[in-house]
Structure 1
Amino acid sequence: MRGHIKKRANGTWSIVVYMGRDPKTGKKIYQWQTVKGTKSHAEKELAALINRQNNGSFVKPIKTTVGTFLESWLETYASCNTAPRTFERYSQIVRLHLIPNLGRIELTQLRPEHIQAYYSKALSGGRVSCGGLSAQTVKHHHRVLSEALNHAVKWGLLARNVAMAVDPPRPEKREMHTIAPEDMSVLFEEAAKMEKNSGLPYELIFMTALHTGMRRGEILALRWSDIDLAKSKIYVRCSLQCLKNGEIVIREPKTPGSKRLVSMTPSLAEKLIIHKESSSANMILQGKTLQGNSLVFAHFDGTSINPNTVSPAFAKIAKRAGLNLRLHDLRHSHATLMLTAGVHPKIVSERLGHSTVAFTLDTYSHVIPGLQDAAAKAFEKSLIQKDS
């Protein structure tokens, strides 16, 4: 007999499993585990424990709490395997939300119902101040917790990732705004006005976002060596981020697909040629020379622009232009305009740096009905031409 159960007080059962002999002392080793519930439930747990021992997936229970493990995971894994900005977000989620709510539970005793109850609580009143968190935010918490528990399984601390048995909340799709062609001139006029007051190249930054679909951090990380003005090409190689301590860092993108080649429109290439001449003249005035590693979009002295100041500036400009837009909506506008113009989704996906074409089509599914109508009309037209 490999194991047995023994009734204890308060409706609990002890599961005892023979684990073999100690190779050094020769003494028999037994694994004890306490479970709550009926005798039938205890017998099922005993069978499952024996099965895990037989197939090699048994993990000896340890007295580590979820909080202790998450702190260790942050320090030993996340700190050296994620981008600084990503690590900041992970740390905030773990320390402000996951540990206060799940940290006291023993790691091996964490159950799906614990996690599901936390998600419900977070949605109703999970903010540090007051109110509930959004479904999208709680979904981010789920991803971080699930990733951490995956490593607990890899490291032999858990037999399975219980977060995989939990359904995170489904966030509603955020309404996407795009700029109409007739509003572009008004937007750029307002950007030019703010540019004169601030000295920052807002008009060209926003034009680059609209004409290429690049992300804010990717645009601000551009160096002149990343731009081939003769061939009208931009090589997206890095992204610029601002950490909470104010430090500006430039790193490679998280995914291989984010590194890409983007063809420029002739009007954008022309503007960048003029901007390069102006930037070179500014550097000469300071007794410096414009280098290949010089930032394309920078302050007068060549230092990097804080990305956290660019989005609020755009919001002011858009408001003055009478538009309800975020800076990221210029990226959406680029994709929408290209898709409606008949550009193949694969090309659009590559320009945006998406991981898959499926993600692009899902994100811009609102454009698909119009493309379907145009495709049907084009097919009909081709039939008529062949018949004639």
Structure 2
Amino acid sequence: MRVAEVENDLKGGTYVDPSAGKVTLALYARQWLSTATAGPTTVERYEGVVRNHIEPHLGRRELRTLNKPSTIQAWVKQLQAVGLEASTISGIHDVLVGILDAAVEDGLVTRNPCRSSTVKLPKQTKRKIVPWTLERVHAVIAGLPERFRRGGKLAFGCGLRQGEVFGFAVEDIDFAGLEIHVNRQIRIVRNKMVFALPKGNRIRSVPMSPGVAKELKAQMKEFPPIAVVLPWGTPDGELRTYRLLFTDVKSKAYNRSVFNQGDWKRALVAAGVIPPRTSNSQYFAAAPDDGMHALRHAYASVLLDAGETIKALAEYLGHSDPGFTLRTYTHLMPGSAIRTRRAIDRAMFGPPQGTSEAEGSAMCPQCALAA
């Protein structure tokens, strides 16, 4: 029977020498990582997945023994048992899929058991984003250090990501055209801060209100921009200099880990989002849903409420796929009944008495900042 199977595989061009798969998964995974073509932060994430979740469970096994979907399913169950969320397990599984796909292409194994229909991942329950109220937005921004308070206003007023605010420079502002240009971010690669293109390598332009422009001018006057030198892309990349609007008390670029555990958490405490740190605790309370990204979500929610299109919002947020923007924020869009009532009232009766058209409409983020 075995001879017949080998002959069939030889004829079909799918035969793999059993000795070829004697390499361990741990060793092959390391080889795969060394040739990965993804960006440095993505490869760093892959390395963490291999080190923390693949090697401890499957690393010693030879590739040729990883041929049963039941082995993969048992591994998934182990990941569930330690309390990992479904979305995390899915990301870990994707890395193993990539490794074993490469092993198939290299002729080390005949098939990838991860791709079997019998391997079931835990179902992901996507939680809907609940945007902050304007009151909370104002309260948290007010709780930030004075030198970064306008950084919070920029994040909310123009929908920037945290790293994009940290990397925002004088040359990114077009005061005459009332636009900002999102040209870079600051991110951490191998524990070192670097300049890099925005997420997805998507440089973009975002409308800037006169109010936001006024805030940026005030920031530049009160805290003159600092020339910061960092490598580009990777720790050993070309050194580049940009005059950043927002730097820490040592005139250095903000480190996201230090900022998030310090200034940001203190702002959350000041706004009553999380409780104060107790005297016997070294850390503030966890706030996974209340990171600086919440300002970006608030930006999206008020733009949609004001009637902005998904296509325009996707451009302003730097999303490559408007469908992603729609899936993420569709529940925040005013219902058709609400839009109908607003439209008819405006057409028949005009803006509410005592207000202008603009005042009778929902507020944009920039207007909300000045409210």
Give the structure 2 partner of residue 363 of structure 1. Answer: 328
**Rounded Cα–Cα distance in structure 2 between residues aligned with 1:323 and 1:372:** 33
Higher mean displacement: 232-241 or 93-102: 232-241
**Rounded Cα–Cα distance in structure 2 between residues aligned with 1:105 and 1:343:** 54
- TM-score for both structures, normalised by structure 2: 0.75
AA of the residue aligned to 2:335: L
List aligned pairs for 1:157-236, cutoff 5 A.
157-165=108-116, 166-174=119-127, 176-191=129-144, 194-195=145-146, 201-236=147-182
**Per chain length, whose mean CA-contact separation is higher, i.e. which structure has more relative contact order (CA < 8 Å, sep 6+)?**
2
Give the structure 2 partner of residue 20 of structure 1. Answer: none
In the superposition, relative to structure 1, how do residues 355 and 115 fare at CA in structure 2: closer, same or farther (>3 Å)? Answer: farther
Once the 2 structures are TM-superposed, how far is the Cα of residue 122 of structure 1 from its aligned partner? 1.1
In the superposition, relative to structure 1, how do residues 383 and 207 fare at CA in structure 2: closer, same or farther (>3 Å)? Answer: closer
Once the 2 structures are TM-superposed, how far is the Cα of residue 271 of structure 1 from its aligned partner? 0.9
Give the structure 1 partner of residue 31 of structure 2. Answer: 72
Which residue of the other structure, out of 338, 352, 358, is the alignment partner of 1:374?
A: 338
In the superposition, relative to structure 1, how do residues 97 and 328 fare at CA in structure 2: closer, same or farther (>3 Å)? Answer: same
Q: Tell me, yes or no, if the aligned pair for 2:129 and 2:329 is still in contact at 8 Å.
A: no
Once the 2 structures are TM-superposed, how far is the Cα of residue 243 of structure 1 from its aligned partner? 4.2
Q: Tell me, yes or no, if the aligned pair for 1:57 and 1:159 is still in contact at 8 Å.
A: yes
After superposition, the CA RMSD in angstroms is 2.9
Q: Tell me, yes or no, if the aligned pair for 2:225 and 2:244 is still in contact at 8 Å.
A: no
In the alignment, is residue 310 of structure 1 matched against residue 254 of structure 2? no
Once the 2 structures are TM-superposed, how far is the Cα of residue 299 of structure 1 from its aligned partner? 3.1
Once the 2 structures are TM-superposed, how far is the Cα of residue 187 of structure 1 from its aligned partner? 2.8
**Rounded Cα–Cα distance in structure 2 between residues aligned with 1:53 and 1:278:** 75
In the superposition, relative to structure 1, how do residues 108 and 253 fare at CA in structure 2: closer, same or farther (>3 Å)? Answer: farther
Q: Tell me, yes or no, if the aligned pair for 2:186 and 2:193 is still in contact at 8 Å.
A: yes
- TM-score for both structures, normalised by structure 1: 0.72
AA of the residue aligned to 1:142: H
**Rounded Cα–Cα distance in structure 2 between residues aligned with 1:269 and 1:237:** 18
Q: Tell me, yes or no, if the aligned pair for 1:139 and 1:170 is still in contact at 8 Å.
A: no
AA of the residue aligned to 2:267: I
Which residue of the other structure, out of 84, 94, 100, is the alignment partner of 1:149?
A: 100
In the superposition, relative to structure 1, how do residues 264 and 150 fare at CA in structure 2: closer, same or farther (>3 Å)? Answer: farther
1:119-151 Cα distance to aligned partner (Å, 9 max, x none): 1111112xxxxxx22222212211211222233
Once the 2 structures are TM-superposed, how far is the Cα of residue 264 of structure 1 from its aligned partner? 1.7
In the alignment, is residue 134 of structure 1 matched against residue 85 of structure 2? yes
AA of the residue aligned to 1:116: Q
Give the structure 2 partner of residue 273 of structure 1. Answer: 217
Give the structure 1 partner of residue 45 of structure 2. Answer: 89
AA of the residue aligned to 1:232: L
Q: Tell me, yes or no, if the aligned pair for 1:221 and 1:250 is still in contact at 8 Å.
A: yes
Once the 2 structures are TM-superposed, how far is the Cα of residue 69 of structure 1 from its aligned partner? 0.9
Rg: which structure is higher? Answer: 1
In the alignment, is residue 299 of structure 1 matched against residue 248 of structure 2? yes
**Rounded Cα–Cα distance in structure 2 between residues aligned with 1:210 and 1:52:** 60
Once the 2 structures are TM-superposed, how far is the Cα of residue 101 of structure 1 from its aligned partner? 0.8
- What secondary structure sits across from 2:157 in the alignment? helix
Once the 2 structures are TM-superposed, how far is the Cα of residue 96 of structure 1 from its aligned partner? 1.7
**Rounded Cα–Cα distance in structure 1 between residues aligned with 2:15 and 2:222:** 67
Q: Between Structure 1 and Structure 2, how many residues are aligned? A: 316
Once the 2 structures are TM-superposed, how far is the Cα of residue 352 of structure 1 from its aligned partner? 1.4
**Rounded Cα–Cα distance in structure 2 between residues aligned with 1:304 and 1:268:** 22
AA of the residue aligned to 2:272: G
1:152-173 Cα distance to aligned partner (Å, 9 max, x none): 3343434443322233323322
Give the structure 2 partner of residue 337 of structure 1. Answer: 302
Once the 2 structures are TM-superposed, how far is the Cα of residue 268 of structure 1 from its aligned partner? 1.4
Structure 2: segments with no counterpart, 5+ residues: 228-239, 275-289, 350-371
In the superposition, relative to structure 1, how do residues 238 and 57 fare at CA in structure 2: closer, same or farther (>3 Å)? Answer: farther
**Rounded Cα–Cα distance in structure 2 between residues aligned with 1:214 and 1:106:** 46
- What secondary structure sits across from 2:35 in the alignment? helix
Which residue of the other structure, out of 194, 202, 218, is the alignment partner of 1:249?
A: 194
In the superposition, relative to structure 1, how do residues 282 and 94 fare at CA in structure 2: closer, same or farther (>3 Å)? Answer: closer
Once the 2 structures are TM-superposed, how far is the Cα of residue 277 of structure 1 from its aligned partner? 2.9
In the alignment, is residue 353 of structure 1 matched against residue 318 of structure 2? yes
List aligned pairs for 1:50-129, cutoff 5 A.
52-61=9-18, 62=20, 63-74=22-33, 76-78=34-36, 81-110=37-66, 111-125=68-82
Q: Tell me, yes or no, if the aligned pair for 2:131 and 2:298 is still in contact at 8 Å.
A: yes
- What secondary structure sits across from 2:245 in the alignment? coil
Structure 1: segments with no counterpart, 5+ residues: 6-14, 18-45, 126-131, 196-200, 284-290
- What secondary structure sits across from 2:3 in the alignment? strand
